[in-house]
């Protein structure tokens, strides 16, 4: 038996005190590390949110457009000429000149027209085509402002001509006059979420990239999930223990750690070079990302299947179930939460990948929103890369806004995974 006097000796008390002190320091270091990581994450997300919140807001300028029948008569009377021959820019220019009749020189007119985006003519065109009865009338149309005007109204550019460097004193005066007349407003920018890419920062949107990512992930999921689950089931339940099986397992584990650029080179050589599939298409991007995601799903699937208690299998066999029935009716339903978790982890990795998509040409400038798996498209990470590489100052907020959309996309995927895991999880 232990001697009580030994535990109360000065040496043992000092040893216990040192041990408790070291444990306390270790706990504090761990709590400090967690706190530092949380603080860094909060600062990162707050910075992105602060810079990207303005991307969801756009500045508009009101123009009293005179839909002169001599210019737009083809809309009401198509026999007079095709609608494509209408000079929509002239309508925008005349509306601006009515607000500032003192502008006379050619350079001043060009500067005045530069206050609104090139998308202004599209806004005027869409308004008239939506209501042809406007021919011969004067109607107020809100059009998008130019990128520099948008940055000025949002407070991103100084209103001092000497400090601005982007807008002259005359242009600042025109903007101030428009604001005093109530002809400038800020509205939620739905086009940022719905439109495709554009050379003009104020017109660029992530709609095309979001649709491209969605189509790409659908192809990835349709290919990688069934193949990954089937391979995991075979290796864990049916494959014989041999050197060939061990070699396959070793290669799968190694493929899970291969850099993603290698899969991009494989996709470039096989899907584009050998099979001749369309370049810069979600179909090719999804197949390439499926190759990258497949090892992750197989490893996670095998771990989930292995976690099913052997008693479940033995009870099913005792009731006369075949090996396939044991797997389909008992093992897979119990392993499904773990398989889904591994699948979402692989899909989340695929969502954030850029290098493989760059190799297969999904870095192209795509204006239109893709509607099929073979249309030219880009993905959200690639879109962020393109905007970050742009010299235009207005694309800075677009980058942060696109990152917020990407994080929202990722959060939706993780939320779906948690719901599915709780929905199919069984406890015993």
Domain end position, chosen among 188, 216, 250: 188
Report if residue 3 sits inside a domain.
Answer: no
Whether residues 219 and 153 share a domain: the answer is no
Judgement on whether residues 159 and 211 belong to the same structural domain of the protein: no
pLDDT tens, position by position, 165-220: 678 888 888 888 999 989 999 999 898 988 888 888 888 889 889 999 999 999 99
Structure-block tokens of residue 148: 């520099």
In Å, how far are 250, 299, 394 from 346, measured between CA atoms? 19, 11, 33
CA distance 96 to 131: 22
Structural domain includes residue 17: no
Residue 254 is encoded by which pair of tokens? 């190694």
Residues 107 and 216 in one domain: no
Same domain, 127 and 235: no
Per residue in 21-71, pLDDT tens? Answer: 888 999 999 999 999 999 999 998 898 888 888 889 999 999 988 888 877
Residues 236 and 245: beta-carbon distance below 8 Å = no
Residue 7 lies in a domain: no
Instruction: Round to whole Å and give the CA distance between 207 and 197.
Output: 8
> Residue 210, by phi and psi: left (phi above 0), alpha (psi -120 to 50) or beta?
alpha
Q: Tens digit of pLDDT for each residue in 367-415?
A: 888 888 988 888 888 899 888 888 788 888 899 899 999 988 888 888 8
Q: How far apart are the first and last CA of the chain?
A: 42
Is 178 inside a domain boundary? yes
Determine contact, residues 233/303, Cβ cutoff 8 Å: no
Domain membership flag for residue 198: no
Same domain, 177 and 217: no
User: What would the pLDDT profile of 95-135 be if each residue is shown by its tens digit?
Assistant: 888 888 888 888 888 888 888 988 888 888 888 888 888 88
Mean confidence (pLDDT) of the chain: 85
Instruction: Say if CB 400 and CB 55 are below 8 A apart.
Output: yes
Residue 372, helix vs strand vs coil: coil
Q: Could you give the number of structural domains in the chain?
A: 2
How many percent of the chain have pLDDT more than 70?
93
Residues 246 and 184 in one domain: no
Instruction: Give CA angle at 265 (264, 270), nearest 5°.
Output: 100
183 shares its domain with 211: no
Domain span at 169 = 57-188
Residue 318 CA to its chain's centroid (Å) = 50
Banded model confidence at residue 79, pLDDT cuts 50, 70, 90: very low
> How far is residue 255's CA from residue 132's CA, in Å, rounded to a whole number?
61
Verify that 84 and 221 share a domain, yes or no: no
Cα separation, 397 vs 329, whole angstroms: 51
Residues 78 and 217 in one domain: no
Task: Give the separation between CA 114 and CA 31, rounded to whole angstroms.
Answer: 55
Q: Is residue 2 part of a domain?
A: no
Number of H helices, E strands in the chain: 20, 3
Same structural domain, 284 and 381 = yes
The CATH number that applies at residue 296 is: 1.10.3720.10
Beta strands in 163-272 (DSSP E): 184-188
pLDDT score at 31: 92
Q: Which of 200, 138, 148 is nearest to 175 (CA)?
A: 148
Q: Is the same domain home to 138 and 238?
A: no
H or E element, residue 297: helix 282-306
The verdict on residue 23 lying in a domain is no
pLDDT digits (tens, 9 = 90+) for 338-374: 888 888 888 888 888 888 888 887 877 888 888 889 8
User: Are 230 and 157 members of one domain?
Assistant: no
Pull the structure tokens for residue 422. 């709780």
What's the distance, CA 52 to chain centroid?
13
The pLDDT value recorded for residue 2 is 58
HSE at residue 105, side-chain half, CA atoms within 13 A, is 4
Q: Is residue 264 part of a domain?
A: yes
Cβ-based neighbours of 25, under 8 Å, separated by 6 or more: none
By residue count, the chain amounts to 428
Give residue 194's Cα distance to chain centre.
13
């Amino acid at each position: 038996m232990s001697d009580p006097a030994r535990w109360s000796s000065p040496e043992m008390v000092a040893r216990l005190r040192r041990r408790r002190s070291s444990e306390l320091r270790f706990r504090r270091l761990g709590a400090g590390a967690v706190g530092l990581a949380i603080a860094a994450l909060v600062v990162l997300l707050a910075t992105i949110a602060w810079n990207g919140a303005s991307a969801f807001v756009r500045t508009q300028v009101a123009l009293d457009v005179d839909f002169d029948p001599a210019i737009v008569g083809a809309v009401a009377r198509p026999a007079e000429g095709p609608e494509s021959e209408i000079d929509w820019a002239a309508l925008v220019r005349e509306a601006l000149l009515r607000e500032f009749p003192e502008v006379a020189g050619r350079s001043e007119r060009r500067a005045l027209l530069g206050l609104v985006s090139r998308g202004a003519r599209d806004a005027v065109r869409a308004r008239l085509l939506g209501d042809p009865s406007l021919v011969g009338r004067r109607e107020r149309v809100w059009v998008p402002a130019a990128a520099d005007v948008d940055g000025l109204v949002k407070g991103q550019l100084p209103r001092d001509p000497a400090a601005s460097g982007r807008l002259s004193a005359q242009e600042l005066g025109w903007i101030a006059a428009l604001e005093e007349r109530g002809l400038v407003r800020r509205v939620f920018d739905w086009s940022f979420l719905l439109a495709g890419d554009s050379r003009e920062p104020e017109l660029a949107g992530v709609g095309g990239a979001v649709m491209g990512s969605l189509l790409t992930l659908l192809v990835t999921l349709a290919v990688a999930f069934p193949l990954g689950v089937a391979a995991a089931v075979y290796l864990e339940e049916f494959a014989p223990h041999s050197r060939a099986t061990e070699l396959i397992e070793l290669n799968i584990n190694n493929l899970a750690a291969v850099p993603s650029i290698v899969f991009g080179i494989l996709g470039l050589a096989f899907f584009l070079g050998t099979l001749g599939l369309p370049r810069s298409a979600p179909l090719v991007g999804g197949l390439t990302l499926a190759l990258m995601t497949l090892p992750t799903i197989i490893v996670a699937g095998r771990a989930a299947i292995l976690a099913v208690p052997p008693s479940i299998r033995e009870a099913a066999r005792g009731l006369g179930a075949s090996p396939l029935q044991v797997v389909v009716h008992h093992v897979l339903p119990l392993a499904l939460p773990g398989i889904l978790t591994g699948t979402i982890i692989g899909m989340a990795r695929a969502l954030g990948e850029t290098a493989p998509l760059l190799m297969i040409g999904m870095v192209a400038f795509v204006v239109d929103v893709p509607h099929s798996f073979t249309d030219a498209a880009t993905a959200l990470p690639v879109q962020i890369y393109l905007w970050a590489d742009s010299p235009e100052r207005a694309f800075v907020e677009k980058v942060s806004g696109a990152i917020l959309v990407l994080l929202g996309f990722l959060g939706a995927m993780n939320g779906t995974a948690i719901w599915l895991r709780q929905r199919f999880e069984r406890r015993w």
